[in-house]
Structure 1
């Protein structure tokens, strides 16, 4: 009884001092105007990993923004942006709360493994909402789905071009005909992240949006739960390039301004190009791919964008753009397997 009374008095004290009460996370309380780091240990009985998380709790009551980085551990730009955000987000100037997952897939990161977690060979961004009794990747997805996403009013999942992907920066948001309000808010989030190309993820007919079926993707899980969500895609070929790290940091800062969580004016891009249709070119051969274009290039239908050779340097396939548009990403390294995506082309409005 005395412990409850002390807790109530403590909450009243902090509420009177700063305008809001402490934020509870992982059975700990983060005081207003402070930040705290968490190491969440996850095990499936055979494999063990951890999820590093930083919670920034502002002085005043406001929205909760969830941000994930490193769902794919070889996508370094968002992970390094998250590291810098530790010092750039000042909880003394923050209204509301930011929950930042620094690296969701530490196994993939430490194992330098594109796409999959080497512990169980599963793709975390195809594993949501996860399974509390599943493999290590499924348990990570379950933790994020049950302990992070439900706490949020808004959600952003940060990615970049994985090891073989030559990607041009863009953001994406979810649109669903039966979720007009959430869709519209997601669009506003995307527009205030500071990127000049925005993909509209039309999900009305997608199976992963149907009740009883898995959402698969991290941000799709948030959207499916009624939380406006957007993706950042910034960085390429699994490289660390400071310009892309900075662009992600600036985008998060602009979004915090837009959500009135930090003082300042958001910096939406001018002349935003919306992309509602995408087309994929898939390889029907295994061998070596030689790209003739790069991510971000504009191509016309019928334009040659690359070719495939066998292992004796004989050309076995010339690859042509099947539609006119902008290359969102394309295979930028030589190895290619039958069935893999060679390029994604977006049709710009």
Structure 2
């Protein structure tokens, strides 16, 4: 009897007897289990949510994906990640929203929600009585971000985007917040990290989901892998393994999470845009280093005659290059960012 009591006490003190239920929308997960459900965003819009509740107490990490429904690699990665995490090994709670923009996915429409023509990553905190996109943003803000301790926002190359893998780390000016999110970015393991300066909100005050989370004091990173709507195994694996590394870094999963060695820090990229319709032809790839003034692509008319050239506005790394010939006035054809020193002053880290 004494031995049984001692074993039970050790079990409780280890945290293994953690028994709190965790609920997000219709998904309620008991300790050591996972649950699938939906968040009600109004007007018949139901956001799928996966809740994985560990056997031990710990933080809530939310992974948000599919704001652009044709960034397929990140969406598939979230499905695979949720299937791979063992609740018995988890401390805390992992919340996965694998697909926010369901209409974009179903209709294969890049960038926007075809229901209302709005970007699902530009309207946070959203509105409870707005358009579909605004309601989705409001639902994520109120039902997910408010209950989260950490956030990762997943993206990738949309149907017309050929991009390299990279992470965004926000320099908000809040030392503690920036330090924690920096650790998350380094643990994720992508070796190119873009420094995201405080982006000016839209005229109505709307921001991205990552900026909204940061405004709420939640350490947040953005990661991108995949290009032009592809689902290459290596892109999916990078996102899955990076997510696991962050969970190890946050002590949610056992194991070491060494930070990436010698990351390349990149200043906020400059957009190269088109002032005409035409056919785009890329001359560089998404991992190229270019010099200011170098020709990175050109446009032809319908007859194949060259009508415009696009040059690098600065010396730096090509983060993204347009992946398709279709080109309209106002489209972006490339993002280029300058390589900068580690903002912390620590060489390599």
Same fold (TM over 0.5): yes
Provide the rounded CA distance (Å) in 2 between the counterparts of 1:16 and 1:39: 29
1:110 shift after superposition: 1.1
> Structure 1 259/76 Cα, relative in aligned 2: closer, same or farther at 3 Å?
same
Q: What SS class does the counterpart of residue 208 from structure 1 fall into?
A: coil
Equivalent residue, structure 2, for 1:68: 64
Q: What SS class does the counterpart of residue 334 from structure 2 fall into?
A: strand
1:184 shift after superposition: 1.5
Equivalent residue, structure 1, for 2:179: 184
User: Once the two structures are superposed, what CA deviation does each residue of 1:267-319 show, in whole Å capped at 9, x if it has no partner?
Assistant: 43211011124222111111111001111111112221111111221111112
Q: Which moved more, 1:270-279 or 1:246-255?
A: 270-279
> Structure 1 267/113 Cα, relative in aligned 2: closer, same or farther at 3 Å?
farther
1:16 shift after superposition: 7.7
Equivalent residue, structure 2, for 1:207: 200
Equivalent residue, structure 2, for 1:97: 93
Equivalent residue, structure 1, for 2:319: 328
Q: What SS class does the counterpart of residue 344 from structure 1 fall into?
A: strand
Q: Is there any run of 5+ residues in structure 2 with no aligned partner, and where?
A: 1-11, 341-349
Q: What SS class does the counterpart of residue 78 from structure 2 fall into?
A: helix
1:208 shift after superposition: 2.3
> Structure 1 215/135 Cα, relative in aligned 2: closer, same or farther at 3 Å?
closer
1:249 shift after superposition: 0.2
How many positions carry a matched residue from both structures? 328
> Structure 1 244/27 Cα, relative in aligned 2: closer, same or farther at 3 Å?
closer
Equivalent residue, structure 1, for 2:54: 58
Q: Which of 136, 140, 144 is residue 148 of structure 1 equivalent to? A: 144
> Structure 1 segments of 4 or more deviating over 4 A?
none
Provide the rounded CA distance (Å) in 2 between the counterparts of 1:222 and 1:249: 22
Q: Is there any run of 5+ residues in structure 1 with no aligned partner, and where?
A: 1-12
Contact map agreement 2:27 2:37 (CA 8 A) in 1: no
The two structures, once aligned, show a CA RMSD in angstroms of 1.8
Contact map agreement 1:172 1:231 (CA 8 A) in 2: yes
| 1:214-253 pair list within 5 angstroms | 214-253=205-244
> Structure 1 82/344 Cα, relative in aligned 2: closer, same or farther at 3 Å?
same
Give TM-score, length-normalised by structure 2.
0.90
Provide the rounded CA distance (Å) in 2 between the counterparts of 1:68 and 1:99: 8
Contact map agreement 1:215 1:224 (CA 8 A) in 2: no
Q: Which of 65, 79, 82 is residue 75 of structure 2 equivalent to? A: 79
